[in-house]
Structure 1
Amino acid sequence: MTTAPFLSSSWYRVAQLRPKLRDHTSIYRHRYRGCIWYVVQDHATGRMHRLSPAGYMIVAAMDGVRTVDQIWHEVGSALAEEAPSQSEAIQLLAELSAFDLLQTEVTPDASALVARAAKAKRSRWLGNVLYPLALRIPLWHPVRFFERTRPLAEWLFGLPGAVLWLLVVLPAPLLAAQNWQELTADVSDRILATDNLLLLALVYLLLKTLHEFGHGFAVAAFGGTIPEFGVMILVFAPLPYVDASAASAFRSKWRRALVGAAGMIVEVFLAALALYVWLTVEAGLVRTLAFDALAVAGVSTLVYNGNPLLRYDGYYILADLLEIPNLAQRATRYWGYLVNRHVFRADGSKDFVAATGERIWLLLYAPTAFLYRQFVMLAIAVFVASQYLAFGVLIAVWSLLTGVALPIGKALWFVLASPKLQRNRARAVAATFGMILAVGLMLFLIPAPSYTTTEGVAWLPENAIVRARTDGFARVLLVHPGMNVTVGEALVESEDSTLKAELIILRAHVAELETRLAIERFTDRASAEITSTEIGQARAELATATDRAARLVVHSRSEGTFAVMKPQDLPGRFLREGQQIGYVLTPGSRIVRATIRQDDIDLVRHRLRSAEVRLAERPDETLRVESIREIPSGRDVLPSRALGGAGGGAFTVDPGDPEGVKTLQRVFQIDLVLPEIAPAATAFGGRAYVRFNFNWEPPGQQIWRRLRQLLLSQLQV
């Protein structure tokens, strides 16, 4: 840390100036994290500037009569050892002047003012071009409107309004949960349908207008003013906005947070009303409008406005509750300070001033917000591209250029050209490009573990499943459940009265034909030949019927313990051929039938190294897999309902399937044979967790594969 001298050689340039704040400023006293700060509000631009107590003493003494030198000496006498240095006083004056908050008796340099205004204008338009999410166009000055409607605002944000809001909103989540499948079925097709886009735009505009009026009424309810109403760009879509910066002057952080939440409070209220309309009316225009309102209010509140990682309502609420003004800017500056101080070791870097507990929030916020912004923009790009490919690709490219490429370019330019690194340029360049090289090696050259996880169910070998061998009514269990059986032992006997009668008839018919043949053999050789053929056919039919009768008795195909679900219900029940009756459980002969997505089947076939299984009832015990058998062709049916979303599994199933096993995408089934020493599962069909370990490969290749699969699956190309 470098310490500036207490006296400055440039002091003579400002010592005799008689400054004062401009008339369009106001100062408010706030307490942030136990420390006193003073907020300067610029009513001309809506900006807020924070001053320390020492800085405030200097600014408060600026009356246009006393000189800067007199003010500095007075403040120094009052603060003693805590007095600011002349360099710090000069810096404060420079910053106030840069924001056009200061006026003196000296005629300002017109060329400097013009240059500064032109630079600000270029920065503003450049920001609008590069970051269209921040474009603002003022249209209306609604000060009088909100002053006249202040009584309504006080009612809405008072106890009556709170009671009304709770009565309307509280039942809505329960109703939404009960109708969740219908609400979310084909949501992208319904929202992005061509004939719905205009309706969606109108609903969006109306909801966002009411959202912004919510902010305005909240400010008015607590005595603030709304100087500006206009249009801004949010995710490439226009919507209204109000300038609620007057809330920064409120001393209570809870009031400031309530102003930030007011728009979401309005949207949640409207979303609840839209849900009630959607549940009440029949299919048609009104129901479509209600669904659009529900979707817009819900998504915008959860993903954008309510999320503090984006600089919308949730961000300002978090900053107010944490008592860290300008959280995003300070987090970015803090990371810059850390890099300059500890990596580049730049000369003249000042210590970063932060209150107790602020640094950890600043350290975490910047990277988390950056990653979330990119995730949201890419998610929007994929969502839009699923219906409109060109627009989705445009959003993705724009997001990568402005969110990733441009910041990296600025950082590299700073390292290569910034005067602050003049003496440490070699170290800064070496550290920067060394870090780039290290990241490149880690991503694309150094192998890393590669694996995928899925779910399965405890399964049995086919010869352990007891199935009916032909149609019939179960008559009796020949072996009590729970007893040990051997291979070939009879387990269940069924009966078929029709088959029984057929056997009697066939036997009698065969006997009749045999008697006829004995007579005709000596009297009519031609008739004997015909009868002989008929006997062959009758005997074949009798053999078939006899075989069917024999298959009414089911035998065990393996050795183990006989098990039947609800054995008391089995006698008298009709069993179709192949229907499952029970199991013969053999310790150690256990299979896990896993279902894997189509995206990962190629890895399992060609890059599999090993597989591991954990049973749900033994999550701390990992079982190795002896062998793997794949069912060659893909299918759209799960082996068990437990693997589908309705059964708590990870696979999305068709909402219209009553069995809950029909998947929306093709899946592949794989049988994993567990070793003989593996403990038997508690019950056939129990859940298991499977991990497939593949050959190691660099993380960059793994990330690229997953992104490519995501795009191909979402874009359906």
Structure 2
Amino acid sequence: MANDLIANLNNPAERRKSVRLRVRPDLQSFEQKYEGKTFTVIKDPVCLRYYRFSRQEHFVFGLFDGKHTMEEVQEAFEEEFKPMRLELADLEGFARQLVTAGLVQNEQPGAARHLFERRAKQRRMRRLATVSNILYLKIPVFDPDRLLTWMYGYLRWVFTAWFFAASVGLMLAAIVHVTLHYNTFQAKLPAYQEFFTWNSVLYMWLSLGVVKVIHEFGHGLSCKAFKGECHEMGVLLMCLSPALYANVTDAWTLADKWKRIIISFAGIYVELVIASIATFVWWYTPAYPTANNIALCIMVLCSVSTVMFNANPLMRFDGYYMLADWLEVPNLREKANRFLNNLFLSKCLGVDVPPEAYMAPWRKWLFVIYAVGSWVYKWVVTFSILWFLADFMGPKLKVLSQMLALMSLASVFVFPTYKVIKNIRQRGRLPDMKAARVYITLAVFAAFVAAFFFLPLPVSRVHETGLVAIDPEHLEGVMLSEPARLVKLEGASPGQAVRKGQLLGTFESTALEIELAKAKAARATQQQTADMLNKKVLKAQGAGDAANEQRFLNEYVRAKAQADTAERDVARLLKRQIGVRELRATRDGTLITAPKRDEIGKLFDKGYTETTPVFSVGDPLKLVLKVPVTPYDYRLLKEDLTARSELDVSVCVKGRSDRTFSGKVHRDKLPAQNAATIPLALSQRGGGSLAVKPNEDPNLLAPLAQVYLVEVEMTDPDTAIDPGQLVSVKIHSRWRSGAWWVARELSNALDIGLY
């Protein structure tokens, strides 16, 4: 007998059967129904985790009381659920999951070491997840349950029917108000560069923190309203902005799924109420710029961002949990990812995977579409935010956004790839794979890799904003010869046809008028002197006084010469006066630029007599675009124009979506050096995107970063395109591979300068 006992203890199989597990006594259980089936939710009050068990799983879970051995649990299960069979390996796998989750205690030797290793691994995975999700970091701080209980006593009225009706009415009023005044609403919205100033971003950054605090208290209070608990609140860094988060996972203990959906929707609901209030505040406070700007920021944050992020089920925010509860699929993303991963292992590698429970075909497709869609949407949102940060931070701070982009690239691509490879190594040993499927998968993968490295694609386009201007070869300026004041505009307005010699404007020069008056006075004085001396000559001649006659004659000759000089001065000044007084067109064409009516009386002095024309006449169909390009794009264009004489250009004009215009970049028009100054319209001061350096002369706009002004000739313009207009430009470079594009973007991000 003793020998048999020793033999059993030394037998690994018998030792496995004799293992006893004990469920933690502090765990709490709740019943829920999913798709008509009853499930039990187990709550771990220590780490605030929740686990859902089917009827069979909960039966086994209940037998882990420290008295039943694994063999006895197996026999009891098979007796309860005849004719189902439970293999010992499956039971051990389930028990191992419970031990790992900390739901049961294993007093066998070596169990503590296993738990310690598992805990260390979980810590590593949490640190890795924190680094990989840099735009959404959570730091637990305190237990808010008592605070929420106290607040709920004062805010109970928020959860009444009349408040719900009033808040919905407020939202509808805001929507109706915006709809009825949509054109005015759209006109009052600031442009991109006007809205995303440092002040606006600061207001938005602070508003986001305040709004998210209210948002999370909305979750916590709604959880309290339905008798739930909230034991964790902390700091949330969302998009690098500080906020608050509340862990309301206790809602999973509620049997009614609509209550869980309401708790998840509470934060969105609060933000929509705030957005409605902010809409009216913004509309009626144009006289208070600070309040108006803050209200606009809150309106955008609580409406657009809430719909794009919080309410979107593709991101793991409120909308995700609402969809999961509505579909009655807990851990929707994990299940979708696991389903997609198993689908890949099964169909592409031929690996046998554990069969999924039966589900309708549409639900299978839902899992696949959701897994792919959530990954793609996360990628799009992450890099859209990082692109905005790069564009907003400008040249000096752009490196910060580039570093964030590289970290996000690792989180979106590198870590998932690592997980897939690790999963294949763990579950798909080479002997377990089907050779035919592996070869087909490898062939498809090799084809994608070859296409990535060698297939030419239109990825080397240069996208910029260009400024429309008249071709200098078909434009003539009319300038003043000296400073003068505008007296009258002769009727021609910009855009109207004019003829050569047509009078455009009348000016007067006060300095010239004074000089002319002095010249006329001098002429009159010299003429009077000459006339007086002429009379003296005649009188001396009549008296026979030869000596005085000769003297007066000499003085007369000198006076006459001075009078003639004065006459010539007057004639010269009159000619100058005509040149200043009347500015005429120097060629046939269209009047491009001219002074405005409210500039009548203005003195056109410095600049207008040297470089800046008062009027300009040209051909409006001979247009060029001034396109600022970065050094990276300049090197690309220069490389392509070395092999070709010109590159095609596509031009999109705002308000002309029905047509795409075309143009050319010529090799001989490529600038040899970077631009020292840029036009006002291309700078942020004029509505463009280029930052400029501080300068003592406000008329000289030097770009903050190095740019080249590339001239694009438009080949098919029409009269609807006005000089001075900003247009979207796409320069078509030589097609290159996707690998080239990735390498170039990384080179530009790290400022290596390889491309």
Q: Which of the five TM-score ranges fits, normalised by the shorter chain?
A: 0.5 to 0.7
The amino acid that maps onto 2:119 is K
Q: Answer yes or no: is 1:674 the counterpart of 2:684.
A: no
For 2:559 and 2:456, the matched residues in 1 are separated by 80
Partner of 1:186: 198
Shift of 1:690: 2.5
CA distance in 1, matches of 2:336, 2:577: 80
Distance (Å, rounded) in 2 between the aligned partners of 1:613 and 1:293? 36
For residues 434 and 601 of structure 2, what CA distance do their matches in structure 1 show? Answer: 87
Match for residue 122 of structure 2? Answer: 124
1:103, 1:639 → 2: CA distance? 66
Distance in 2 between residues matched to 1:387 and 1:626, nearest whole Å: 32
| Deviation per residue, 1:103-149 (Å, 9 max, x gap) | 99x99661364354224312222123323379988776666666676
The corresponding residue for 2:675 is 634
Match of 1:489 among 501, 511, 515: 501
Counterpart of 2:50, as a letter, is M
Task: State which drifts further: 297-306 or 663-672.
Answer: 297-306
Residue 228 of structure 2 is aligned to residue 229 of structure 1: no
> One-letter code of the match for 2:731?
F
1:217 is aligned, of 216, 221, 224, to: 221
Q: What is the correspondence of 1:524-603 to structure 2 with a 5 Å cutoff? A: 539=568, 542-543=571-572, 545-560=574-589, 576=604, 577=608, 580=614, 589-598=621-630, 600-603=633-636
Mapping 1:38-437, distance limit 5 Å: 38-44=39-45, 45-50=47-52, 72=78, 75=81, 86=86, 91=90, 94-95=93-94, 98-100=97-99, 110-111=108-109, 113-132=111-130, 151-152=153-154, 154-159=156-161, 162=164, 184-187=196-199, 213-226=217-230, 228-229=231-232, 234=237, 242-262=246-266, 311-321=316-326, 323-348=328-353, 350-351=355-356, 356=363, 357-369=366-378, 372=381, 404-416=413-425, 418=427, 420-424=429-433
CA shift for structure 1 position 592: 3.8
- Write the mapping of 1:617-656 to structure 2, written as runs, cut at 5 A: 618-625=656-663, 629=669, 634=675, 638=679, 640=681
Unaligned 5+ residue runs, structure 2?
Answer: 1-12, 179-184, 538-548, 642-646
Residues of 2 paired with 1:531 and 1:439: CA distance? Answer: 98
In structure 2, the CA distance between the partners of 1:570 and 1:111, relative to structure 1 (3 Å rule), is: closer
Within a 5 Å distance, the mapping from 1:445-456 to structure 2 comes to: 445-449=454-458, 450-456=460-466
- Unaligned runs of 5+ residues in structure 1 are 1-10, 78-83
1:491–1:209 CA distance, 2 compared to 1 (3 A): closer
> Quick one: structure 1 residues 617 and 313, their matched pair in 2 at CA, closer, same or farther if it must change by over 3 Å?
closer
Asked whether the 8 Å contact 2:462–2:732 carries over to 1, the reply is yes
Correspondence for 2:731: 692
Q: Distance in 2 between matches of 1:388 and 1:178?
A: 27
Give me the identity figure in percent.
19
For residues 491 and 276 of structure 2, what CA distance do their matches in structure 1 show?
61
Query: 1:81 — aligned with what?
Result: none
Which whole-Å CA distance do the structure 1 matches of 2:55 and 2:49 have between them?
Answer: 19
- 2:208–2:241 contact (8 Å) kept in structure 1: no
Distance 1:111 1:510 in 2: 125
Question: Counterpart of 2:644?
Answer: none
Secondary structure, aligned partner of 1:422: helix
2: CA distance between counterparts of 1:387 and 1:28? 58
8 Å Cα contact 2:41/2:52 also seen in 1:
yes
* SS across alignment from 2:587: coil
- Counterparts of 1:179 and 1:563 in 2: how far apart (Å)? 28
Equivalence for 1:5: none
CA 561–47 in structure 1, closer or farther in 2 if over 3 Å, else same: closer
What pairs with 1:698-717 in structure 2 (closer than 5 Å)?
698-706=737-745, 709=748
Native 8 Å contact 2:477 2:616 kept in 1: yes
For residue 378 of structure 1, report the CA deviation from its aligned partner.
Answer: 9.2
Partner-residue secondary structure (3-state), 1:613? strand
Residue number among 651, 659, 666 corresponding to 1:613 in the alignment: 651
DSSP 3-state at the match of 1:448: coil
Matches of 1:408 and 1:400, distance apart in 2: 12
Aligned partner of 1:29 in structure 2 is: 32
Distance verdict in 2 for CA 1:653–1:256, change over 3 Å: farther
Which whole-Å CA distance do the structure 2 matches of 1:182 and 1:263 have between them? 30
Structure 1 residue 42: deviation in Å? 3.0
Q: Return 14-23 or 602-611, whichever deviates more.
A: 14-23
Distance in 1 (CA, whole Å) between partners of 2:471 and 2:85 is 84
1:456 to 1:390, Cα distance in 2 relative to 1, 3 A: closer
Deviation for aligned residue 1:333: 1.2
Asked whether the 8 Å contact 1:19–1:68 carries over to 2, the reply is no
Distance 2:79 2:448 in 1: 53
Pair 43,146 (structure 1): closer, same or farther in 2 beyond 3 Å: farther
1:546 offset after TM fit, Å?
Answer: 0.8
Structure 2 counterpart of 1:366, one-letter code: W
Q: Is the 8 A contact 1:14 1:90 kept in 2?
A: no
> What is the CA distance between 1:423 and its match in structure 2?
2.8
Cα deviation code 1:209-263 (max 9, x no counterpart): 766554332212112233x336577579998765422211334444323323445
Number of corresponding residues: 672
SS of alignment partner, residue 38 of structure 1: strand
CA distance in 1, matches of 2:299, 2:505: 59
Letter in 2 for 1:132: T
CA RMSD of aligned residues (A): 6.5
Partner residue, 2:3: none
My pick for the range that moved more, 545-554 or 370-379, is 370-379
Alignment partners' CA distance in 2, 1:650 and 1:692: 18
Cα 1:224–1:669 change in 2 (3 A) is same
Asked if the contact 1:493–1:554 (Cα under 8 Å) also holds between the matched residues in 2, the reply is: yes
CA contact (8 A) 1:415 1:421 kept: no
Task: Report the 3-state secondary structure (helix = DSSP H, G, I; strand = E; otherwise coil) of the residue aligned with 1:411.
Answer: helix
> Do the aligned partners of residues 250 and 645 (structure 1) sit closer, same or farther apart at CA in structure 2, a change above 3 Å counting?
farther
SS where residue 319 of structure 1 aligns?
helix
Residues 334/478 of structure 1: CA separation in 2 closer, same or farther (3 Å cut): closer
User: Are 1:506 and 1:542, in contact at CA under 8 Å, matched by a contact in 2?
Assistant: no
Q: What is the DSSP-based 3-state SS (H/G/I as helix, E as strand, rest coil) of the residue aligned with 1:694?
A: coil
Separation of aligned partners in 2, 1:630 and 1:472: 40
Q: Is the 8 A contact 1:469 1:551 kept in 2?
A: yes
Amino acid at match of 2:336: A
Larger Rg: 1 or 2? Answer: 2
Partner AA of 2:125 in structure 1: G
SS of residue matched to 2:575: helix
Change (3 A) 1:442 1:539: farther
**Which stretch shows the higher mean deviation, 38-47 or 68-77?**
68-77
CA contact (8 A) 2:485 2:602 kept: yes
For residues 161 and 663 of structure 1, the distance between their equivalents in structure 2, rounded to whole angstroms, comes to 57
Conserved 8 A contact 1:478-1:490: no
Paired residue type of 2:98: F
Compared with structure 1, are the counterparts of its residues 312 and 497 closer, same or farther at alpha carbon in structure 2 (3 Å cutoff)? closer
Shift of 1:591: 0.5
Q: Is the 8 A contact 1:475 1:571 kept in 2?
A: no
Partner of 1:625, secondary structure, is strand
Equivalent-residue separation in structure 2 for 1:57 and 1:132 (angstroms): 37
